[in-house]
Each structure stands twice: as structure tokens, then as C-alpha cells.
A and B are shown apart, each in its own frame.
Chain A
Amino acid sequence: MHELSLATALMDLVREEAAAAHAQRVTRLVLEIGALSHVDAQALRFAVDVAARGGPAEGATLDIQEPPGTAYCLDCETSVTIAARGAPCPRCGGAKLLVQGGDEMRLKEMEVV
């Protein structure tokens, strides 16, 4: 359900950008879906496939980049990489981490004709 809402929003964005660029068809989409974004890439692929039907991006190749989660540890005062929110600091085991990146959900690029 979550992925379907995202896919629908993505198609709105794609249509808007395609129209602005006077493109006929979209052949490839490059997304950035951070490791902390709570989006399942597999489910998103499926949802985009469904949401793209009948639109300019139907059949487009989908590239999903998954940047890792990054956080600042308040205990050892270092920027670290984490696999999930709530995970301890990989350096010092501390629990107080401020997430800095890895929760993005962006349309980076699209290839059009």
C-alpha cells in the first residue's frame, strides 16, 4: 500500500517532467531510495509497473540506487553508517544517533525520447 502511494506520486512527477521536456516517452527512471526510507525496493518495482500502465513511462527500465543510512553519534561524536534506525553505533555501541541521510526518496534522472 505504501509503495503504491509512492508509485502513484512518482508517476505524477514523471508526467509533469516529461511534459515540461516535451518528451514523448520515458525509457528509463533512476530513483534514489535510502536504506532508512522504509520502502521495499521489490514492492516498489511491482507498484511502479502497475502505476505506469497507460502512461508515458509504461515499460520504462527502473534503476533503484539505495544509499546507506548515515547518522551522527552523540556519544563518540562521529558520523557513522547504520543499517536501520535504532541500530547502535557501529563504533562505540552508543544508542543516541541522529540520522543524517539515507531516508531520501528521489527521482534523480529520467531518460526520454
Chain B
Amino acid sequence: MCGTCGCGQGERRVEDLHHHHAHDHAYHDAHEHTHADGTTHSHPQGPAEHHHHGAEGSRLLSVERDILSRNNAVAAENRRHFQTARTLALNLVSSPGAGKTALLVETLKRIGGKFPLAVIEGDQETTADADRIRATGVPAIQINTGKGCHLDAELVRSALVRLGTPENGVLFIENVGNLVCPAGFDLGEAQKVVIASVTEGEDKPLKYSGMFAAAGLMVVTKTDLLPHLDFAIDRLIENARRINPTIAVLQVSAKSGEGMDRWLHWLDTARALRLAAD
């Protein structure tokens, strides 16, 4: 727990993994950079000050900083860390129950031991999802955000200290089921992957456009249910492209396995690009 910034207080909790050892590229000093913020240095002589303005004795400071700049600074550190470790980090986002964990469990089983894998699970409460992942043999750690409705870069950094980073492999970060807040909080991932299940309605991209705008890939899940539904998958894709003309789209069923091969192929390609990049 950090007494200065108060992080780790309240109900925010990163699961304790006594039995796991930190791997080579783990973060060793989680709190060393807590208050670092690259953008601070944009004012080497202190913030710009203007002439008198407003109340007597008051000064007007020109700040011009993103409100989430602190999170963005930690996210940038995470991103550099993933780059050094040549790890593909994906931030999986969706509304609650869209099938993120089910998709991950199937994915991990199929990848087997082909390359290093690890999972960070974000939920407000319980370690149920991390337990489901660990049952596949892949290392996982649960973050409980308590009242918080999204993961942030600091929580991910703390989780990595305990979990270790899968070098040359893939780190899946399953965000809290919520299509609003996780959109604005960069975790340092290579891409956001938005999961949309066929039971949610075709208008999700229009109602939660921030998330669909931020994602590089949309995975449409639970396609095995299509015969039972009045769901026009083309309309969903059309709406997603309306928000984000360059978003990639895949269709899968974690239950029947349909489309899993194409998703695994997408992962292979994304990982190859990460390994090739310097």
C-alpha cells in the first residue's frame, strides 16, 4: 500500500499469489514511479504564469494537460515494459457477461504451450474468473476494483509485479464488464479488443461509441445462438464501422468452436508483428 497517493486503499485489491514467483521481466519497484508523469516536464520553469487576473493577488496558470495524464504516464511505462519483453498485451472489454472469460478459456486451451501466456482478470468482486483461467494451467491474477468500474494502468502495473510478464508471448487483460469507463483508461495495451455478443442488440456500437472507436478489433461472440435470435449481424458490423471505419471484425462461438481458428490466426499475426517490431 502506498501512503502517499492512497492507491491500494479501500476495496481496490490485487490478489496475493504466494505460490507464484516473479519472472524475469517483472516490475520490481511498483511504487518507484507512482508519481512520475512525463508531461510534468513540459513546464521546466514551472507552469506559465500570466498577468494579474480575477481576484486580488491571484495568478492564472496555463496548464493544458489531459485530465487522465497520470494514468497515461503509467500506461506509457507499461507499454515500454511490454515492448522490452516483446509481449503482446490485449485489453479485452465488453458489457457484463458478453463472454470474455469463456472466449479466453477456449483460446488458452487451444494455444496450449505454444508460447508464453498470462491473464489479468479485472472484476469488482470475486476471484471466480481468475480461478476459471488457472484451471487451464495458465498463470492468472485477479484484480478487484471494488467500487471502481474499470482497470487503470497502476493496477495493471501492480498485478504484473506479482504475475510476471509472458516474454515473447501474449498477456490478456480482461477488463471489468463495462462499455463506458474502460474506454478512457489506457493500460499500456497494444490494442483494445471489444467483445460483443449476439444477444446484446445491433445498436451497441452507437450507444457506446467511445469504446468501439477505441478498439482495433471487434469479436462478435456466442454465434451459436444466432438460429434462436432475431439478430442481424450485418447491422452490428455496419454500426461498428460507422463509429470506426477501420475496425477489424471476427465472429466466434466459444461454445461450438466456430470461428476460433480465425481468432487464433489473428492472434498469431498480432504476436508476429509485436515480435518483429523493435
- Tell me the A residues contacting B by CB distance below 8 Å: 1-2, 5-6, 9-10, 12-13, 16-17, 20-21, 23, 27-28, 31, 36-38, 74, 84-86, 95-99, 103-113
Closest 8 A/B residue pairs (Cβ): A85-B209, A105-B67, A38-B210, A2-B181, A96-B245, A86-B206, A113-B58, A107-B63
- Tell me the B residues contacting A by CB distance below 8 Å: 5, 35, 37, 40, 43, 46-47, 49, 53-55, 57-71, 147-150, 180-181, 183-185, 205-206, 209-210, 213, 239, 241-243, 245
**A84 and B209 within 8 A (CB):** yes
CB contact between A16 and one of B40, B53, B209 (< 8 Å): that residue? B40
A-B contacts, 16 of them at CB < 8 A, read A2-B184, A5-B150, A5-B185, A6-B67, A17-B65, A20-B43, A20-B47, A21-B59, A23-B61, A38-B184, A85-B209, A86-B206, A106-B67, A109-B60, A111-B53, A112-B58
User: Knowing A1-B181, A16-B37, A21-B49 touch, does A98 contact B245 (C-beta < 8 A)?
Assistant: yes
User: Knowing A20-B43, A85-B213 touch, does A74 contact B65 (C-beta < 8 A)?
Assistant: no
Give the CA-CA distance A2 to B180 in the complex, in Å. Answer: 8
A69 CB to nearest B CB, Å: 11
CB contact between A111 and one of B58, B66, B70, B241 (< 8 Å): that residue? B58
Give the CA-CA distance A27 to B55 in the complex, in Å. Answer: 9
**A27 and B58 within 8 A (CB):** yes
Residues of A within 8 A of B54 (CB): 27-28, 111
User: Knowing A85-B210, A86-B209, A113-B57 touch, does A17 contact B149 (C-beta < 8 A)?
Assistant: no
B26 CB to nearest A CB, Å: 26
**A86 and B242 within 8 A (CB):** yes
**B63 and A109 within 8 A (CB):** yes
B69 CB to nearest A CB, Å: 6
Give the CA-CA distance A111 to B58 in the complex, in Å. Answer: 6
A39 CB to nearest B CB, Å: 9
**B210 and A108 within 8 A (CB):** no
Give the CA-CA distance A103 to B148 in the complex, in Å. Answer: 22
Residues of B within 8 A of A84 (CB): 209
User: Knowing A20-B46, A109-B60 touch, does A99 contact B213 (C-beta < 8 A)?
Assistant: yes
Give the CA-CA distance A20 to B41 in the complex, in Å. Answer: 11
Give the CA-CA distance A80 to B209 in the complex, in Å. Answer: 18
A26 CB to nearest B CB, Å: 9
Residues of B within 8 A of A96 (CB): 241-242, 245
Residues of A within 8 A of B148 (CB): 5
Give the CA-CA distance A6 to B69 in the complex, in Å. Answer: 11
**B63 and A74 within 8 A (CB):** no
Residues of A within 8 A of B67 (CB): 6, 9-10, 13, 31, 105-107
Give the CA-CA distance A103 to B209 in the complex, in Å. Answer: 12
Residues of A within 8 A of B71 (CB): 9
B233 CB to nearest A CB, Å: 18
**A2 and B149 within 8 A (CB):** yes
CB contact between A95 and one of B49, B58, B65, B242 (< 8 Å): that residue? B242
Residues of B within 8 A of A112 (CB): 58-59, 61
Give the CA-CA distance A97 to B60 in the complex, in Å. Answer: 37
**B183 and A108 within 8 A (CB):** no
**B245 and A23 within 8 A (CB):** no
Give the CA-CA distance A113 to B149 in the complex, in Å. Answer: 35
**B58 and A106 within 8 A (CB):** no
Residues of A within 8 A of B242 (CB): 86, 95-96
**A85 and B243 within 8 A (CB):** yes
